[in-house]
Amino acid sequence: MGTTEQPKYYYERTKYPKLFEHTYWGTMQDNNFFASTEVFENRNKFVEEFCIKKDRKNTGRRLPKRINEYLWEGMNNGVGLFDHTEIYEAGDTNTNNWYWVIIISPYNCYSIEHQRELDLHGFKPYKSLYRLGVSTFVKTIHNKNYKTILI
């Protein structure tokens, strides 16, 4: 009787391991007590709902400088709202109908005040993609409009 090898990392527990294998979340060891089937299922639904095609590492596209600066400013603003940022390319990547999808999961700092700030920046609450009990927020930026929608 053969044995089935158990997944070693979180990314291996999703239907889309190639999309998550380079993320901080994806490289967590599966024996971690934070593992949750619901989060793995949420990750699968996220890919399907947003038509995710590639993770940032494998897009072949450079993240526009203004988006990059925007994210770095958010991560370094002292409150950590842009904690656990992940960036994906989505939509029809062979035409001009593609967009960036940015997710953040502020692990240690989240309040109603932070929610207002995230709303101001266009981030919407989403199913937990990091771990249960940690909020996740999503923002889409169309490739043609990224200059005008960043605050």
In the chain, where the domains are located? 10-149
The structure's pTM equals: 0.79
Q: What is the pLDDT of residues 58-86, one digit of tens each?
A: 555 555 555 656 565 655 554 556 667 88
pLDDT reading at 43 higher than 90: yes
Q: Which two tokens stand for residue 12?
A: 């291996």
- Cα 19 to Cα 16: distance, rounded to the nearest angstrom: 6
